[in-house]
Amino acid sequence: MTSVWEVSLRRDGPNQLELRPTLAGIHAVVAHWLHAPAGSVGPGEKHESDHKYSVSWHTPQLNVLVLRLVVHDPKLEDVLLARVRPGRAELLGKVDVVVESLALERRIELSSISGIYSRHWSLEFPNGITFRSGSLFSPWPSPERILGSITRRGRDFFPLEGATLDLSKLLSGIVVTSVELSTVTHWAGGSSVSDLRQINAARGRLQWSLVGEAERVEAVGYLLSMGSILGVGAMTAWGLGRMEVYPMAHKAENVSQVGSKDALGV
């Protein structure tokens, strides 16, 4: 069972820097909540392990940051509840913050997700998306990278129906019809300037149209629904990779439901 949580943080005290989230700051706070202390055998994830959670964020008002955690391990849920409570003080970068609230948004049974059938999709990346190639990060969210990331990530969490599909056949039916993206550069990692990694991410949206037989269209809709839950690309534990997907009606065509609409925009 996957659970979705929201943690609201507010800047603590008026005489501080403005609260501006960074990837390193977000990851440090969330790791403090969900990771085991270095060298410890206590509860929480090991720092070097593959993360069983993803993070996204938004700033509803000045000096307030809402972190959205999608947690795939029930043991991590227990750790989160034990460590995060209203009034807890944290350090986000160089800014003192305090936890205002922790709320369970919803639980999702991943095996019950079937997807939405549509030949036209809008894919939105509110926090940015990036893909790692060696030591480099590329912001280009090609259909191949998006669907490839979803199938790989899906295998880490549950037996993904469709994971053995021939992606080349699915990709051949995807036409990118609109691109509204900007590149955002982040710097993360390392204790000195020379050790920092440049992370280029794409923020904005794409539109896809799908051609071909209905089975391929259904498979793509299923994978997109899964990606909206699992996150896409690299640095998903640092605040990148959230993908919101929306089926679009086109001309006289109808959008018909194959599975739960709740799978979208998670």
pLDDT at 25 over 90: yes
Helices 74-83 & 23-34 angle (0-180, nearest 10): 100
More confident residue, 87 or 17: 87
Place of tokens 């509840």: 81
What CA–CA distances, in Å, run from 133 to 140, 147, 263?
12, 16, 29
For residue range 53-88, what is the model confidence (pLDDT) as tens digits?
A: 999 999 999 999 999 999 999 999 999 999 999 999
**Which pLDDT belongs to residue 116?**
82
Decide: 239 and 57 in contact? Cβ < 8 Å.
yes
**Which pLDDT belongs to residue 111?**
80
Q: What is the pTM of this model?
A: 0.87
**Which pLDDT belongs to residue 257?**
41
**Which residues are 245's β-sheet partners?**
123
The burial of 237, by beta-carbon neighbours within 10 Å (0-12 exposed, 13-18 middle, 19 or more buried), is given as buried
Decide: 175 and 206 in contact? Cβ < 8 Å.
no
Distance between first and last Cα of the chain: 14
59: tokens are 């700033």
**Which pLDDT belongs to residue 190?**
61
Over range 242-256, report the average pLDDT: 72
For residue range 187-235, what is the model confidence (pLDDT) as tens digits?
A: 887 666 667 889 999 999 999 999 999 988 999 999 999 999 999 999 9
Cα separation, 52 vs 119, whole angstroms: 31
Full set of structural domains in the chain with CATH: 2-108 (3.30.70.1890), 113-263 (3.30.70.1900)
Cβ within 8 Å of residue 264, ≥6 positions away: 116, 225, 228, 244, 245, 246, 247
Cα separation, 199 vs 127, whole angstroms: 13
Decide: 234 and 241 in contact? Cβ < 8 Å.
yes
For residue range 142-190, what is the model confidence (pLDDT) as tens digits?
A: 999 999 999 988 887 666 555 456 888 899 999 999 999 999 999 887 6
Percent over 70 (pLDDT), the chain: 85
For residue range 94-137, what is the model confidence (pLDDT) as tens digits?
A: 899 999 999 999 999 888 887 788 999 999 999 999 999 998 99
- φ, ψ dihedrals at 221, nearest 5°: -60, -40
More confident residue, 53 or 44: 53
**Which pLDDT belongs to residue 50?**
79
Cβ within 8 Å of residue 192, ≥6 positions away: none
Q: How many CB atoms lie within 10 A of CB 213?
A: 9
Over range 13-39, report the average pLDDT: 87
